[in-house]
């Protein structure tokens, strides 16, 4: 990274009904009239969270109560390069007010990317916010295990799961496709999206809402297929090299782990939370924690910078 990169703390203020706060850059500043998320530069020796609390107080007149690190993203403007430390802010004291004479507005996350005059670096986090925070994966054991998954899928969807991966590399033929189509239908009815694992026949990819690439499959291709430009693309990652691959491939998110010991990969040494936090900080995209995750661990994962959690059995039980 260049020595003159500007470090910026950015607050993503989210209400329980999924509204997000945007501010219009005031006259006299670069990009005046464009809309952005609140925040500002880190001062020398200042931590991201300290800078965030200071900026929200100076810019909006609020006191920060609860925030978690999220995605750290580098954006290149024509004359500057900024490293944006996006943090999700869920609790604050006071009513946000434009203390710098900037206009403010709350917008629905689902429609935010359609707004005009968004600052270029604001588009990625608004897209990322549309990703659910739980990612359910089919077990991949055998046909019998997949059928058991189907029997419990509706419970998971009813509990709020909105992102599902179909991963059954050992099951082929018409019965597998029928089960996959059943998952699609049930998930779509519940408002959930389904990704299909890259282990499956490419002819099925277009039926899904996206493709989850195994690391080896992504490395063999090197770049995101043009046919998936309007689909979600995810990549499995286990280390820094895999996360670099996810970035160059053009993935929308990565799944990193195993973070904790897991029955699905009994021989894989777990990363642990410290390594997960360090690695995800350099991913430049949302990262889901996988390996030993349960719904009860969501807050812990997000406190370590995870977008959410991914798993098999413990997210469906």
Identify the pLDDT of residue 162. Answer: 97
Say if residue 262's pLDDT is above 90: no
Residues 290 and 170 in one domain: yes
3-state helix, strand, coil in the chain (%, to 5): 35, 30, 40
Structural domain boundaries, residue 120: 6-126
Greater confidence (85 vs 263) lies with: 85
Residue 310, judged by CB atoms within 10 A of its CB (0-12, 13-18, 19+), counts as buried
Distance CA 128, CA 151 (A): 30
Say if residue 247's pLDDT is above 90: yes
| Mean pLDDT for the stretch of residues 247-258 | 97
Whichever domain contains 107, its CATH number is 3.90.79.10
Distance CA 87, CA 129 (A): 12
Residue 1 lies in a domain: no
Provide the pLDDT confidence category of residue 317 given band limits of 50, 70 and 90: low
Residues 140 and 264 in one domain: yes
Q: Which helix (H) or strand (E) holds 184?
A: helix 174-189
Last residue of a domain, which of 126, 158, 182? 126
Residues 99 and 242 in one domain: no
Backbone angles phi, psi at 6, to 5 degrees: -100, 125
Residues 97 and 189 in one domain: no
pLDDT in tens, 187-224: 999 999 999 999 999 999 999 999 999 999 999 999 99
Identify the pLDDT of residue 150. Answer: 86
Residues 33 and 175 in one domain: no
Identify the pLDDT of residue 252. Answer: 98
Say if residue 314's pLDDT is above 60: yes
Identify the pLDDT of residue 1. Answer: 41
| Mean pLDDT for the stretch of residues 93-122 | 95
Mapped onto helix, strand or coil, the DSSP state of residue 11 is strand
Identify the pLDDT of residue 2. Answer: 46
Q: What is the pTM of this model?
A: 0.95
Distance CA 214, CA 197 (A): 7
- The chain-wide mean pLDDT, for the chain, equals 94
- How many structural domains comprise the chain? 2
Identify the pLDDT of residue 29. Answer: 86
| Mean pLDDT for the stretch of residues 246-267 | 90
pLDDT in tens, 290-299: 999 999 999 9
Last residue of a domain, which of 126, 151, 183? 126
Last residue of a domain, which of 72, 104, 126? 126
């Amino acid at each position: 990274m260049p020595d003159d990169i500007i470090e910026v703390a950015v607050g993503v203020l989210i209400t329980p009904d999924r509204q997000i706060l945007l501010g219009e850059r005031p006259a006299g500043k670069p990009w005046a009239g464009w809309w952005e998320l609140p925040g500002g530069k880190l001062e020398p020796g200042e931590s991201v969270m300290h800078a965030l609390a200071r900026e929200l107080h100076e810019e909006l007149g609020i006191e920060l109560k609860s925030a978690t690190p999220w995605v750290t993203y580098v954006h290149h403007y024509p004359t500057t390069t900024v490293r944006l430390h996006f943090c999700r802010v869920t609790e604050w004291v006071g009513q946000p007010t434009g203390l710098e004479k900037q206009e403010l507005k709350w917008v629905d996350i689902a429609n935010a990317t359609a707004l005009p005059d968004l600052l270029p670096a604001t588009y990625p986090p608004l897209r990322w916010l549309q990703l659910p925070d739980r990612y359910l994966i089919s077990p991949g054991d055998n046909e019998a295990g997949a059928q058991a998954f189907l029997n419990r899928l509706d419970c998971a969807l009813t509990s709020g799961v909105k992102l599902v991966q179909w991963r059954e590399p050992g099951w082929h033929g018409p019965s597998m496709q029928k089960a996959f189509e059943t998952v699609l239908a049930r998930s779509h009815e519940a408002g959930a999206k389904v990704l299909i694992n890259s282990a499956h026949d490419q002819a099925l990819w277009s039926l899904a809402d996206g493709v989850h690439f195994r690391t080896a499959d992504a490395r063999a291709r090197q770049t995101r297929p043009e046919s998936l430009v309007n689909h979600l693309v995810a990549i499995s990652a286990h280390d820094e090299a895999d996360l670099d691959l996810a970035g160059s491939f053009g993935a929308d998110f990565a799944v990193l782990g195993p973070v904790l010991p897991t029955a699905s990969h009994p021989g894989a040494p777990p990363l642990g939370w410290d390594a997960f936090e360090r690695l995800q900080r350099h991913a430049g995209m949302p990262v889901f924690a996988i390996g030993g995750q349960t719904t009860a661990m969501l807050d812990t994962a997000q406190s370590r910078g995870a977008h959410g959690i991914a798993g098999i059995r413990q997210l469906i039980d």
